[in-house]
Chains A and B, each alone.
Chain A
Amino acid sequence: MKSAKAVLVIAMGLTFAAPVLAAPDDSQIERGHKVYDKWCFPCHGTGPGKPGTDSLKARGQNPAVLEERTDLTAPAIKTFVRHGVLFMPMFRKTEVSDADLDAIAAYLTRNNKK
């Protein structure tokens, strides 16, 4: 297994690689929104006590709220979820299934420039 730091470096690169894949449909995005709200929002959402958002902000990521990003890519999102980064842990398939992960990726890339 790659070290988390190595994964981070790769994943950071992937966020800017931005390959354009087939556009997800609305139902996939809607499912992704629900999964995101359950699993990601408590750390990456808005409001007080969101350590993921706070960490990204402190490290100069703008916008720090993931839902507002337009440069995330599906491979990067999947790498972060499955490998973790810094204090973000890995997520198992009993928590976020591969299908749910595809949906999260569809949701977080919905506003990317086509």
Chain B
Amino acid sequence: MRVPPGVTPKDFSDAIKQWQEAIGTDWVFTSDEDTDLYRDSYSPFWHEDVEPIPSAAVAPDTVEQVQAVVKIANTYKIPLWTISTGKNLGYGGSAPLLGGSVVLDLKRMDRILEVNEKNHYALVEPGVSYFDLYRYIQEKGLKVWIDPADPGWGSLIGNAVDRGGGRTPMRDHFDAHCGMEVVLANGEVMRTGMGALPGSKTWQQYRYGFGPYVDGMFSQSNFGIITKMGFWLYPEPESYMTGTIAVPKHDDIVPLVANLAYLMNSGIVLGTTTVGSPLNFVRDPALAALRAKPGGASPQELEQYAAQRNLPYWSIELPFYGPAKVVAAQWQYAKQQFSAIAGARFQDGKTTTFPLPADAPTQFPASVAIGVPNLAVFGVGSVRSEGHIWFSPIIPMTGEAVLEARSVFEDAYREMGMPTGPMFFLGPSSNYPRCFLVLFGFPIEHDVEKNRTNREHFKRLIKIAAEHGWGEYRTHTAFMDTVMDAYSFNNHALRRFHETIKDAVDPDGILSPGRCGVWPKHLRKAQA
């Protein structure tokens, strides 16, 4: 039997017995066969001794059982690593950061406690996936949309507290939450916002309650275990349509993004969109040769190539949600704004009206954009892919920033000998208001040397990004310390504040040690 760090085999055995009494023997997993199922399927540490593997897993079914598990862990000072659906692939999956931790698996807590069609919200437990809530809403014929993360098997709670994003107007998932129930490290249950008022009628309608607003402390953190969380839903709109703007010149990206920012910040465009170059999708030996020459293709050469073939240099597809007349007017206004760019062209996309026929959603190619979860994102990369992790910096929503980031990371990729194909720079996308998210996929392989090299490259990119003022919004467990190190203003004042809170609310450091760079006192020195 594996044993958590700093815990004697006798104490661990006693804790196991107590957990079995508290939640049932079927839901305390101790065999290697069972605990191996909690390894990160996309681990960058495959076949290395440093891969963090749990010592056990416990899967309570109720908040009372979570409390019991936590109290026992506190007695024996056993680290618990909390997961919800455990499918945060690319960011650590179901594996702990600290090897030997016991995984607290909340997948069995999968109750949909309320879906309110009049005020458009839901209250769910951590094990509820986007698929689960979507099916529930469809079965009951409710006129509300969820905003799924790209992988539909993700947990609404897990994704939101990792500050994941989607594509509809409710795409900032943490921002869309309203009210939490949290089990604290001492086993006590707390409710936030209006939930602190016994008998509250507005827990999922008014976020803040009274006094300091603490919900943010439970995102990307290890200060408590969320057992319930409310989410605002989007009223099913009358229609969804897209419109594409294409511009001919390299430098057109500056006014293109400036207009996009204006439309988004004005509330005229409220979904996720991506600035891209159609040239990236051209498979032409002439273009490949142009790019392969020393120094790569210049913007002028690419402009000329595009002009000769009547191709745009940049394009952007705007999503619109709402009444058909409003959507049409928004698109009309957007076209008026972008017409200031010489040579801009426009293409009306398809208008979809709701509700859809019963079998239509699964046939809709980009269904996440209309609130229908799927797993299509796993089609990225090779059909023989063994997984991936994401390097994901946030950059300003300006054309200048896009050009600078592309140039900086392209240089870094070349310097490190990494392939800089046209698809190496995914995005920039507006998954969050007021900024762009850029994604760089790193392949995971069952090859120790390749993974070691990729880890070094990943850390190098974190530092290069920080040198340019760009920070990651989220990261794989393997890089949480490195990313937190980059958020170093005033001698790491933010991290020191996190640590002060950690010491106060979890003095024995049993909750998810190391998550997002927050370590308990007794493990801090080893990480310094």
Chain A interfacial positions (CB closer than 8 Å to B): 1, 3-5, 38, 42-43, 45, 47-52, 54-55, 58-59, 82, 84, 86-95
Q: Which of B74-123 contact A (CB under 8 A)?
A: 85-87, 89, 93-94, 105, 107-108
Given contacts A42-B374, A51-B378, contact A94 B59 (CB under 8 A): yes
- Most chain B C-beta atoms within 10 Å of own C-beta, residue among A51, A82, A87, A88: A87
Residues from 473 to 517 in B contacting A, C-beta threshold 8 Å: none
In the bound complex, residues from chain A placing their C-beta under 8 Å from that of B37 are 82, 90-93
Contact B386–A86 (Cβ < 8 Å): yes
- Enumerate B7-49 residues with CB–CB distance to A below 8 Å: 27, 29, 32, 34, 36-39, 41-42, 46-47
Q: Nearest-CB distance from A12 to chain B (Å)?
A: 13
Majority secondary structure of chain A interface residues (helix, strand, loop or mixed): loop
B452 at the interface (CB under 8 A from A): no
20 A/B residue pairs, CB under 8 Å, sorted by A: A1-B36, A42-B152, A42-B374, A43-B378, A47-B362, A48-B363, A48-B364, A49-B365, A49-B376, A50-B376, A51-B379, A58-B383, A59-B384, A84-B41, A89-B87, A89-B387, A92-B38, A92-B86, A93-B37, A95-B107
Our count of residue pairs bridging A and B at CB distance below 8 angstroms stands at 92
- List the B side residues contacting A59 at CB < 8 Å: 383-384
Task: Give Cα A92–Cα B363 distance, bound, in whole angstroms.
Answer: 29
Find chain A residues with CB under 8 A from B127 CB: 94
CB distance from A97 to the nearest CB of B (A): 9
B29 — nearest CB in chain A belongs to which residue?
Answer: A93
Q: Is B153 an interface residue (CB 8 A)?
A: yes
Chain B residues with CB under 8 A of A54: 379, 383
> Which of A48, A86, A94 meets B365, CB within 8 Å?
A48
| B41 touches which of A58, A89, A93, A95 (Cβ 8 Å) | A89
Contact present for A87 and B446 (CB under 8 Å): no
B131 at the A/B interface (Cβ < 8 Å)?
yes
Once the chains bind, are B105 and A3 in contact (CB under 8 Å)?
A: no
Name the residue in A38, A43, A45 with the highest tally of chain B Cβ atoms < 10 Å from its Cβ: A43
CA distance A51 to B376 in the complex (A): 6
